[in-house]
């Protein structure tokens, strides 16, 4: 019996993978519906993620799909939150997951069973309708996400206590009308910060983004109009990203991102080009900077009564509203601190999944990772691995080996295009998927396929690393995987090729786009 905490993306994948392995999952969801962060509500619910109605996925549908359940071909390439929620509901219905979900049930505590050392069991206390119930489970999958507890480090902003205007964390943002005619400051330049700044600029008197480090900006519409992740997240590109020397890598990515626009001219060039954040996805920011709707400034030095001072800027800038886009804190309120150690927003977990010090590997955390790609295939692959560990079909290394790797991860952070990322929850998407897939015997063999199915092998190597690749063989093999891979571009172009001029050719060569990226 497996307890699954949360019915968002990770929780649904966990429930489904448990069923695939013949385990008995019970998924506890504190709200009355599935969807997690993708289920929009007008009001903000305590302990739940909150999103604004205009949120659109940053990863394309073919790269975001669960590996044995493609998105409908008529869905747009990038998904508004309502359509992504619709997909999750279709997934839950197709695999009959709802009957394993206990809605309106909040997990109050998870503690080791008295005989944990021999059984690995857990005492799980849940609350529903004001009544608490105690259960015993053989294993636990924690899928509560990391977008519920906002991080608002006001102590890092001198003078904020005397600021007379309004300020709030981005989690509280819903609609841009709050900015009507106001002078707005957005602190932080993550994806949410840029989204909110763009929306605010349509109604505000002035919008300023404060960023101490800058960021590279990518558009969803990438080389030759194809989705960015279907061009960048390929096996060929992964080889290049992880093996080129640092200086050459920096030159390549700097050259490519600046082909869209010169980041330095727009105030966006990363402050330290060797220690950078992940690229930001936004299609509008450059034009909004160019038309004066948005201004980029350095980090905040000090707040005044009705203004702000920036580093290296002598003049005060008047502001009315501040939006702090300062991220979230990892939180497991139902677990004892000794179960999962959290330091500097980082949980000490082997492969971002398993606590390293438990006597029995019967508790796992899913989705607590920020890959440079779609989260859904990652959470699903984690669930496939974890369910086989729970079943005893996969073994974890000794504790000393796991702890050594976790500590090394803290020191040697993820490399991408030869550059180091400054947050340990970032990881190279394809490499991570391949690693977990190899644990369960589901990693595709390009060389093996080159002999038996050369066209499929070439598509897998040069084309997008779509999740269906991990259903070609091994446990959980899906008969439709090959066809899904070979038709992924058809589903990508279906919603956009809605008008074909007479005499035009419908053929296209998406594989060549990857080569074109390097030229």
**What per-residue confidence (pLDDT) applies to 344?**
64
DSSP 268: -
H helices, E strands: number in the chain: 17, 27
Compute the half-sphere exposure of residue 36: CA atoms within 13 Å on the CB side of its CA: 23
Looking at residue 240, what is its pLDDT?
82
Distance of CA 293 to the CA centre of its chain: 29
What is the pLDDT tens value at each position of the chain, 519 positions in all? Answer: 999 999 999 999 999 999 999 999 999 999 999 999 999 999 988 878 899 999 999 999 999 999 999 999 999 999 999 999 999 999 999 999 999 999 999 999 999 999 999 999 999 999 999 999 999 999 999 999 888 888 899 999 999 999 999 999 999 999 999 999 999 999 998 999 999 999 999 999 999 999 988 888 999 999 889 999 999 899 998 888 778 776 777 777 778 888 899 999 999 988 765 555 678 999 999 999 999 999 999 999 999 999 999 999 999 999 999 999 998 888 899 999 889 987 766 778 999 999 999 999 999 999 988 888 999 999 999 999 999 999 999 999 999 999 998 888 776 554 443 433 444 445 788 999 999 999 999 999 999 999 999 999 999 999 999 999 999 999 999 999 999 999 999 999 999 999 988 876 655 555 555 555 555
Nearest-Å Rg of the Cα atoms of the chain is: 23
What CATH number is given for 2-148+329-433 in this structure?
3.50.50.60
Asked if residues 335 and 110 have their Cβ atoms less than 8 Å apart, the reply is yes
CB atoms within 10 A of CB 75: 19
- Cβ-contact 303, 167 below 8 angstroms: no
If one counts every other C-beta atom within 10 angstroms of the C-beta of residue 362, the result is 23
pTM beyond 0.85: the answer is yes
| Local structure of 56: helix, strand or coil | strand
What is the model's pLDDT at position 208? 98
Identical fold between 2-148+329-433 and 152-219+260-326: yes
416's enclosing H/E stretch is strand 415-416
366: left (phi over 0), alpha (psi -120 to 50) or beta: beta
Per-domain residue ranges for the chain?
2-148+329-433, 152-219+260-326
State how far the Cα of 118 lies from the Cα of 120, in Å rounded to an integer: 6
Task: Please say whether the beta carbons of 396 and 33 come within 8 A.
Answer: no
Given the candidates 3.40.640.10, 3.40.50.10420, 3.50.50.60, 3.90.470.20, the CATH classification of the domain at 152-219+260-326 is: 3.50.50.60
Q: Are 180 and 204 in contact (CB under 8 A)?
A: yes
CA distance 276 to 267: 15
Angle between helices 9-20 and 81-94 (to 10 degrees): 20
Q: Report residue 460 CA to chain centroid gap.
A: 23
């Amino acid at each position: 019996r497996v307890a699954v905490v949360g019915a968002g993306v990770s929780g649904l994948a966990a429930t489904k993978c448990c069923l695939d392995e013949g385990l008995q999952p019970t998924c506890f969801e504190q709200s009355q519906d599935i969807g997690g962060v993708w289920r929009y509500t007008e009001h903000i619910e305590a302990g739940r993620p909150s999103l604004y109605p205009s949120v659109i996925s940053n990863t394309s549908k073919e790269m975001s799909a669960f590996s044995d359940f493609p998105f409908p071909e008529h869905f747009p390439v990038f998904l508004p939150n309502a359509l992504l929620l619709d997909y999750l509901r279709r997934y839950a219905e197709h695999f009959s997951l709802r009957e394993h979900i206990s809605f309106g049930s909040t997990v109050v505590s998870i503690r080791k069973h008295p005989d944990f050392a021999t059984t690995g069991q857990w005492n799980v206390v849940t609350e529903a309708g004001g009544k608490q119930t105690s259960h015993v489970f053989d294993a636990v999958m924690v899928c509560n996400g990391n977008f519920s507890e906002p991080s608002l480090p006001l102590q890092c902003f001198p003078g904020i206590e005397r600021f007379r205007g309004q300020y709030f964390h981005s989690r509280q943002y819903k609609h841009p009308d709050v900015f009507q005619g106001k002078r707005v400051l957005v602190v932080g330049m993550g994806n949410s910060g840029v989204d909110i700044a763009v929306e605010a600029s349509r109604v505000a008197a002035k919008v300023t983004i404060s960023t101490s480090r800058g960021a590279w900006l990518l558009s969803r519409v990438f080389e030759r109009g194809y989705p960015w992740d279907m061009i960048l997240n390929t096996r060929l590109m992964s080889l290049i990203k992880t093996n080129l020397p640092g200086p050459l890598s920096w030159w390549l990515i700097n050259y490519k991102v600046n082909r869209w626009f010169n980041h330095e001219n727009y105030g966006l060039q990363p402050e330290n080009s060797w220690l950078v954040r992940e690229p930001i996805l936004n299609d509008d920011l450059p034009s909004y900077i160019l038309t004066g709707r948005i201004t980029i400034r350095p980090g905040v030095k000090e707040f005044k009564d009705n203004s702000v001072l920036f580093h290296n800027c002598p003049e005060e800038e008047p502001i009315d509203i501040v939006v702090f886009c300062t991220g979230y804190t990892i939180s497991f309120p139902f677990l004892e601190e000794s179960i999962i150690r959290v330091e500097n927003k980082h949980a000490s977990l082997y492969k971002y999944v398993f606590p390293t010090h438990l006597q029995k590997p019967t508790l796992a955390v899913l989705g607590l990772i920020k890959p440079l790609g779609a989260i859904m295939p990652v959470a699903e692959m984690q669930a496939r691995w974890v369910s086989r560990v729970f079943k005893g079909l996969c073994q974890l290394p000794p504790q000393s080996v796991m702890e050594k790797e976790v500590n090394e991860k803290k020191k040697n952070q993820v490399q991408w295009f030869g550059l180091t990322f400054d947050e340990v929850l970032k990881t190279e998407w394809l490499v991570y998927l391949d690693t977990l897939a190899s644990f369960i015997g589901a990693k595709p063999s390009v060389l093996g396929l080159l002999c038996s199915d050369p066209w499929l092998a070439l598509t897998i190597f040069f084309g997008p690393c779509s999740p269906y690749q991990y259903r070609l063989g091994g446990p959980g093999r899906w008969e439709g995987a090959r066809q899904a891979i070979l038709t992924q571009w058809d589903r990508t172009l279906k919603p956009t090729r809605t008008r074909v001029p007479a005499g035009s050719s419908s053929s296209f060569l998406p594989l060549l786009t990857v080569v074109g990226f390097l030229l």
